[in-house]
């Protein structure tokens, strides 16, 4: 790329300057979606260009590099799915054990064809599940999914995981098997860390076989919802203990996430530090901007904000930048909706979560946050349904404690304080390091008539530091002022001095 030459078998190939710039932008993020707006900014900075100009260059590139290597993501942009080698790295060998495993993109996931089913309708079902999983995962900005036409050549006689990963240039493989028996279909899926040949997640899903379309959609949604958080947790673990270098966007972002999910003021500072470095490596990156917004949000939630109003405003500003950078990023809209809740802008906050779910229907975090907003606004049945749906869709997500907490809030609003106490206990058991879980339990225990337990819980919470009234109010946006007054009264009876 430095010499601005495209070679075929060592011989230069004629390619226009703009087309070459488009190719560079796509190859630089191989396996990832590159939106049209990103391509316009990189290739035609500061110039207004018709969309058909981009289409002409993409069409020309397909003739040069192969039509199947540049995939169109309808309404969004393009993804380069060809194998990308380093400057002196040979193309990968097919045979297992030949040569070292090249560097692979930790973001990249390949969904292999699912096996099982001898009849044509059964094969159609398994193909459909794999295709649906690819489609759903491709909506996430946190991972890159290899296009189906690059993986469908693998049949029942698969080479080793390492060879498949080497050929596709990925670290992670999703595979599955279907079994049909007695009017039921059972799909077992797994996520594999290919270089380590390690299954890091596996689950089975069973549905009636009388409606295979519904079974296909439900199972694919469940698989996609589980894969993303498991993938991110593994990547966070791989990069969390190693100091990334400047310019290493993905390791920096994963290091930031690793710190974010850990408690303590220092971890939050480190999360901000690494997210800012990731943003410098990739300016206007919506995931980095969203994570920086959540650092500010978490600062308020944990009672560590020096100025709640300032942090809330900064979270909203960063989230708005993330949405402006990529209007199709569901996580950015989810972040903006969460930030808007601080100022009680319920209609806008709910709208952002609904938009996030329209972009990524299996997005459990947006479903859970929608439930939280509905609980505080008094729509408790809908809130409970959203919270249960989020927990079922992504049971391994680090945010499950928040969704169980929503069920406690819904019961508190309804006046069912014993049930609220039960869910608050579950939320605290999942994340005892989150200060606001202790406060919720103390309020629920007091309301349920267990004043001694409430005082004991609040006494335990004091080791985290104070919880200022301004922070508590921002994090508990009850639409009904009477509910807020009763909640704070329960806390004061438990010993809160805010």
pLDDT for 236-251, tens place per residue? Answer: 998 887 788 888 899 9
Mean pLDDT calculated for residue range 4-28: 73
pLDDT at residue 235 is higher than 70: yes
Co-location of 362 and 426 in the same domain: yes
pLDDT for 281-290, tens place per residue? Answer: 999 999 999 9
Co-location of 398 and 321 in the same domain: yes
Instruction: Give residue 79's pLDDT.
Output: 82
Domain of residue 259 covers 242-494
Nearest Cα residue to 363 out of 389, 384, 345, 381: 389
DSSP string, 210-276: T-HHHHHHHHHHHHHHHHHHHHHHHHHHHHHTS-PPTT-HHHHHHHHHHHHTS-SHHHHHHHHHHHH
Instruction: Give residue 159's pLDDT.
Output: 80
Instruction: Give residue 85's pLDDT.
Output: 57
- Considering only CA atoms, give the Rg of the chain: 25
Q: What are phi and psi of 373, to 5 degrees?
A: -65, -40
Co-location of 122 and 151 in the same domain: yes
Co-location of 167 and 315 in the same domain: no
Nearest Cα residue to 79 out of 140, 133, 132: 140
Boundary-marking domain end, from 64, 80, 96: 80
Residue 389 resides in a domain: yes
Rounded Cα–Cα distance for residues 497 and 369 (Å): 29
3-state SS assignment for residue 402: helix
For the chain, what percent of residues have pLDDT higher than 70? 90
In the chain, how many domains are there?
A: 3
Instruction: Give residue 233's pLDDT.
Output: 93
Q: What is the CATH number of the domain that holds 115?
A: 3.40.50.10070
pLDDT for 179-217, tens place per residue? Answer: 998 889 999 999 999 988 899 999 999 999 999 999 999
Q: What is the CATH number of the domain that holds 16?
A: 1.10.10.10
What rounded mean pLDDT belongs to the chain?
Answer: 87
The reported pTM is 0.77
Co-location of 227 and 342 in the same domain: no
Rounded Cα–Cα distance for residues 468 and 302 (Å): 10
Q: What is the CATH number of the domain that holds 443?
A: 1.25.40.10
pLDDT for 25-68, tens place per residue? Answer: 888 877 778 888 888 878 877 566 667 778 878 888 887 887 77
Bridge partners (DSSP) of residue 174 are 111, 191
If pLDDT is split at 50, 70 and 90, which confidence band does 425 have? Answer: very high
**Residue 73 near residue 138, CB atoms below 8 Å:** yes
Instruction: Give residue 263's pLDDT.
Output: 82
pLDDT at residue 95 is higher than 60: no
Q: Tokens 């469940």 belong to which residue?
A: 222
Residue 156 resides in a domain: yes
**Out of 67-76, 209-218, 453-462, least confident range:** 67-76
Q: Which two structure tokens, joined as six digits, stand for 153? A: 């050549």
Co-location of 424 and 359 in the same domain: yes
C-alpha dihedral over 125, 129, 132, 138, to 10 degrees? -150
Instruction: Give residue 157's pLDDT.
Output: 63
- Whole-angstrom CA distances from 177 to 147, 230, 330, 399 are 20, 20, 30, 29
Q: What are phi and psi of 109, to 5 degrees?
A: -130, 135
């Amino acid at each position: 790329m430095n010499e601005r030459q495209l070679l075929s078998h060592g011989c230069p190939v004629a390619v226009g300057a703009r087309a070459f710039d488009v190719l560079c932008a796509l190859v630089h993020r191989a396996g990832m979606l590159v939106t049209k707006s990103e391509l316009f900014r990189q290739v035609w900075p500061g110039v207004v260009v018709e969309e058909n100009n981009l289409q002409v260059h993409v069409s020309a590139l397909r003739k040069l590099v192969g039509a199947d290597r540049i995939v169109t993501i309808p309404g969004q942009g393009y993804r380069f799915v060809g194998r990308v080698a380093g400057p002196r790295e040979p193309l990968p060998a097919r045979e297992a054990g030949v040569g070292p495993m090249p560097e692979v993109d930790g973001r990249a996931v390949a969904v292999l064809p699912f096996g099982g089913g001898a009849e044509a309708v059964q094969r159609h079902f398994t193909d459909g599940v794999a295709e649906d999983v690819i489609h759903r995962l491709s909506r996430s900005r946190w991972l890159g999914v290899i296009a189906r036409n690059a993986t469908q050549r693998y049949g029942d006689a698969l080479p080793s995981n390492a060879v498949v990963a080497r050929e596709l240039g990925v670290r992670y493989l999703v595979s599955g098997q279907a079994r049909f028996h007695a009017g039921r279909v059972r799909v077992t899926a797994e996520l594999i860390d290919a270089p380590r040949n390690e299954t890091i997640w596996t689950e089975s899903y069973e549905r009636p076989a009388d409606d295979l379309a519904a079974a296909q959609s439900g199972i694919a949604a469940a698989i996609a919802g589980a894969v993303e958080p498991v993938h991110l947790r593994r990547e966070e673990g791989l990069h969390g203990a190693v100091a990334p270098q400047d310019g290493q966007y993905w390791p920096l972002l994963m290091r930031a996430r690793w710190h974010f999910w850990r408690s303590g003021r220092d971890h939050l500072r480190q999360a901000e530090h690494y997210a800012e470095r990731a943003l410098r490596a990739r300016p206007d990156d919506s995931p980095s901007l969203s994570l920086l917004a959540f650092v500010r949000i978490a600062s308020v939630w944990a009672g560590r904000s020096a100025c709640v109003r300032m942090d809330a405003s900064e979270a909203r500003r960063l989230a708005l930048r993330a949405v402006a950078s990529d209007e199709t990023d569901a996580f950015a809209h989810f972040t903006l909706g969460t930030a808007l809740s601080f100022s009680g802008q319920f209609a806008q906050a709910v709208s952002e979560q609904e938009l996030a779910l329209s972009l990524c229907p299996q997005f459990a975090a947006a479903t859970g946050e929608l439930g939280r907003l509905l609980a505080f606004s008094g729509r408790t049945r809908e809130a409970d349904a959203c919270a249960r749906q989020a927990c079922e869709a992504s049971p391994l997500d680090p945010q499950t404690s928040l969704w169980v907490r929503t069920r406690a809030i819904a019961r508190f609003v309804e006046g069912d304080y014993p049930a609220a106490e039960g869910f608050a206990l579950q939320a605290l058991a999942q994340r005892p390091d989150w200060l606001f879980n202790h406060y919720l339990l103390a309020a629920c225990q007091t309301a349920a008539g267990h004043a001694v337990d409430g005082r004991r819980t609040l006494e335990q919470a004091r080791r985290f530091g104070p919880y200022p009234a301004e922070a508590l109010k921002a994090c508990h946006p009850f639409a009904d002022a009477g509910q807020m007054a009763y909640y704070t009264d329960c806390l004061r009876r438990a010993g809160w001095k805010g």
